[in-house]
């Protein structure tokens, strides 16, 4: 059974940092891109960042570019999201997902495995 488990969320002050982790179990995802999405209350789920299967290509939403970094450890079947200079508008539930291709994409329809999410709350 495939399972993605996110961790690392919490409450942080504006300007602070958090590192999210997402570990996959049940199969190896080294051949597939992985991504992070988020959903704030009353809003649709939105793309945050994605990384290619090799880890050599990263792709970010404009709203987080320069503040967030995505990276992965294939040996641990884990993808990370390092978040810095956090803002109140970053408050959301963050989800990791596995793409159906090796190349990072922003559309949620491209992803076929999803975690249950971890809450990130940024206080202003």
Distance CA 86, CA 91 (A): 9
Residue 71 CB neighbours (<10 A): 13
Distance CA 38, CA 115 (A): 11
For residue 26, the model assigns a pLDDT of 87
The DSSP H or E segment spanning 21 is: strand 18-25
- Regions of the chain short of the pLDDT cut 50: none
Cβ-based neighbours of 17, under 8 Å, separated by 6 or more: 82, 83, 84, 85, 86
For residue 2, the model assigns a pLDDT of 86
At 17-53, the pLDDT tens digits run: 999 999 998 888 899 999 999 999 999 999 999 999 9
The DSSP H or E segment spanning 71 is: strand 68-73
For residue 27, the model assigns a pLDDT of 82
């Amino acid at each position: 059974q495939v399972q993605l488990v996110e961790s690392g969320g919490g409450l942080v002050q504006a300007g602070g940092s958090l590192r999210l982790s997402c570990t996959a179990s049940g199969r190896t995802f080294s051949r597939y891109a992985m991504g992070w999405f988020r959903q704030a209350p009353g809003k649709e789920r939105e793309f945050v960042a994605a990384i290619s299967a090799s880890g050599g290509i990263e792709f970010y939403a404009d709203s987080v570019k320069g503040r967030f970094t995505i990276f992965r450890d294939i040996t641990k079947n884990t993808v990370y999201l390092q978040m810095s200079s956090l803002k109140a508008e970053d408050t959301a539930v963050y989800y990791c997902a596995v793409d159906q291709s090796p190349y990072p994409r922003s559309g949620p329809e491209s992803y076929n495995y999803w975690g249950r999410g971890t809450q990130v709350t940024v206080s202003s």
